[in-house]
Structure 1
Amino acid sequence: MASPAPPPDIEQIYQAHQPWLKSWLGRKLGDIHCASDIVQDVFVRLLSRSDPTPIKEPRALLTTIAQRVLASHWRREQLERAYLDALAQQPVPLALSPEAHSILLETLHEVDQLLQGLPQAVRQAFLLSQLDGLKQAEIAAVMGISLTTVKRYLMRAAMQCYFDQSA
């Protein structure tokens, strides 16, 4: 389905003022391609306006609309820069191949299954050690148990993982 033709006054305004507006925006932006995009946005807004009164000062109206579109463009650009800066501050994620990802998930599932047979306190001590990297004394402090108990828990968990007793 074809789109309706623009009103005759808008078409005349486009033909008469589009080159001037594109040149004006090109000087402001320093980028004629971006200026062309903004000119199109200006005329789309002009076409979608609900005021039926004839346009008496086309350049003034085009300038006002263009300044609003420019302000929106610059806000969007500023937001994009801030987002990209924030992303740059993040550590580079590890990119796993599908095969490595599958192996990792399978291994995690197996370890989870092995730990299921252990008491909660033993699992917690093991996970604090392996995932959080806590030392035995830190685990004792976190869990409120003795260092000897932590050592015993870690030994039991290691034995369960390395020498699966359910097999």
Structure 2
Amino acid sequence: MSQSNTIEGLYLDHHRWLTGWLRHKLGCPQGAADLAQDTFMRLLTARETPDIAQPRAFLTTVAKRVLFNHYRRQDLERAYLLALAEQPQALAPSEEERAIILQTLMELDQLLDGLPSPVKRAFLLAQVDGLSYADIAAQLGISIATVKRHLNKAAMRCYFAL
């Protein structure tokens, strides 16, 4: 494997370029630097380093996934903060509890990634909102049997992720 195909070689040869590419996408130098590091961390933690014929195209593909996850985290955090703002002040969690809840939500989102939207929605209605099968079926406009299938599919995803 040539030096340019190692993670170290990719980093040395393309880190500055990738950071610039991400800065252009984000408009934030600090965020771009963080996401460039996240991109290379993803490569370091990958099971295998593929043989890379076009390093910049490869890094762009990986960085797009990291960027997508970044935007998803932002959306999730924004939704969580909006939900918190609707709660009475007396019920508001502490800063530590907020951080734990947000981290748990992000892990749950990542865990459920790839499942169809109705399956995720049914799972969240059951687990987060505590709705019954009948209530989920009514809210989603599906049968109770379909709710059960959706929840089984989500539970299997969770089980095998552990």
The TM-score, its normalising length taken from structure 1, stands at 0.49
Instruction: Mark the runs of 5 or more structure 1 residues left unpaired by the alignment.
Output: 1-5, 96-167
The code of the aligned residue for 2:9 comes to Q
Note if contact 2:19-2:33 (Cα within 8 Å) is conserved in structure 1. Answer: yes
CA gap 1:53/1:65 in 2 versus in 1, 3 angstroms: closer
TM-score, length-scaled by structure 2: 0.50
Q: Does 1:42 align with 2:36?
A: no
Gaps of 5+ in 2: 93-162
Deviations 1:84-104 (A, max 9, x none): 011111122189xxxxxxxxx
Q: What residue number does 2:70 align with?
A: 73
Which whole-Å CA distance do the structure 2 matches of 1:94 and 1:49 have between them? 41
Deviation at 1:25, TM superposition (A): 0.4
Q: Does 1:91 align with 2:123?
A: no
Counterpart CA distance in 2 for 1:39 and 1:73 is: 12
Name the larger-Rg structure.
1
**1:29 offset after TM fit, Å?**
0.8
Alpha-carbon displacement from aligned partner over 1:18-42 (angstroms, at most 9, x marks no partner): 0011011011111111111111111
Shift of 1:10: 1.6
Aligned to 2:132: none
- Matched with 1:109 is none
Number of equivalences: 90
Q: In structure 1, what is the equivalent of residue 61 of structure 2? A: 64
Q: CA deviation at 1:56?
A: 1.4
The share of aligned pairs that are identical, in percent, is 51
CA distance in 2, matches of 1:94, 1:51: 47
Q: Kindly indicate whether residue 10 of structure 2 is the aligned counterpart of residue 13 of structure 1.
A: yes
